[in-house]
Amino acid sequence: MAGGKIRKEKPHRGAAAPANPHHQGGIPFHKSKGQHILRNPLLVDSIIQKSGIKSTDVILEIGPGTGNLTKKLLEAGKSVIAVELDPRMVLELQRRFQGTPHSNRLKVIQGDVLKCDLPYFDICVANIPYQISSPLTFKLLNHKPVFRCAVIMFQREFAMRLIAQPGDTLYCRLSVNTQLLARVSHLLKVGRNNFRPPPKVDSSVVRIEPRKPPPVVKFKEWDGLVRICFNRKNKTLGSIFRQKSVLSVLEKNYKTLQALQLLQLESSMDADTTVDVSVLGDTLDDLSLDVEEEDDEDMEMDDGDDKKGSEFKEKVLSVLKKGEFEDKRSSKLQQADFMNLLSKFNEAGIHFS
């Protein structure tokens, strides 16, 4: 009745139980698979608006679910490529758009987005399963040809790590690596009640624009350095690079590089023998740089360590001292600082991949 209150009817005893509220079109959603469907149409419209989609854009959507966002993407762009792992959702998408004007502009790929080869796209707009946030971000940033931008819904804390700046509590290896490859900006915060079923945490929509041209740096080498630096981000670099485990890995890399360079030199003197220099990088990439945190008393090499180990330790520390990095902390360093530090280590023949 107009102007009145709607009274909620109580179900009669013995009546059928109400349908599961986390269904749409008869499909139950699985939280374990990260299936949280956007239910707020105003939020969907806001994401579309902030994405800056052009009518000529080929749009990649990851985890389209039942197609609430897909419908708006089809209205805004030229075509949509939707990658969906759940075969039930694939069938729901096909049923929803079959016989509509959009059907010939929607391509659905059933499979794991982390394992399948992605086709060409101009822009990615997606509400993704949060458990694939990190590997998906770097898969996209490694995609060729480079796309214009990605507008993605992430768990809020992950999103805040992406955009964190030096000195921020959440500034970490993820922040440094992502911002090396892309410009990242926060678009809007999204409360958990905008989803069905609601996740346990709030979310944020982030815009990621790959840098063009990409930075001139070997990413595995860069990541090797950053991984060590953020092993204990609030310790000084001098303290971190005194760890036995760090020095051990770096010395193995150093000796491998020297051996390969010697092999190359000897081979160059033999007219009948050629060396593929690319083997250098392949060999170094095989070395693990996963460094375990050590207790403070185990951080530094013992005085009784062999002479060669002590010499290498001094070589590493001299790089830090000359660049005035010994007393600095990773949590405060800018991108340019990491780039400068990597350059100085490489000039001394010390590599991280």
Residues placed in the known binding site: 36, 38, 63, 84, 112, 127
Distance CA 90, CA 214 (A): 35
Two tokens, residue 100 = 């509509």
For residue 4, how many other CB atoms are within 10 A of its CB?
A: 6
Summarize the annotated binding site for S-adenosyl-L-methionine as residue ranges.
Answer: 36, 38, 63, 84, 112, 127
Distance CA 221, CA 253 (A): 11
Distance CA 206, CA 283 (A): 37
Q: Are 249 and 287 in contact (CB under 8 A)?
A: yes
SS (H, E, C) the chain: CCCCCCCCCCCCCCCCCCCCCCEECCEECCHHHCCCEECCHHHHHHHHHHHCCCCCCEEEEECCCCCHHHHHHHHHCCEEEEEECCHHHHHHHHHHHCCCCCHHHEEEEECCCCCCCCCCCCEEEEECCHHHHHHHHHHHHCCCCCCCEEEEEEEHHHHHHHHCCCCCCCCCHHHHHHHHHEEEEEEEEECHHHEECCCCCCEEEEEEEECCCCCCCCHHHHHHHHHHHCCCCCCEHHHHCCCHHHHHHHHHHHHHHHHHHHHHHHHHCCCCCCCCCHHHHHHHHCCCCCCCCCCHHHCCCCCCCCHHHHHHHHHHHHHHHHCCCCCCEHHHCCHHHHHHHHHHHHHCCCCCC
Distance CA 194, CA 69 (A): 13
Distance CA 220, CA 203 (A): 30
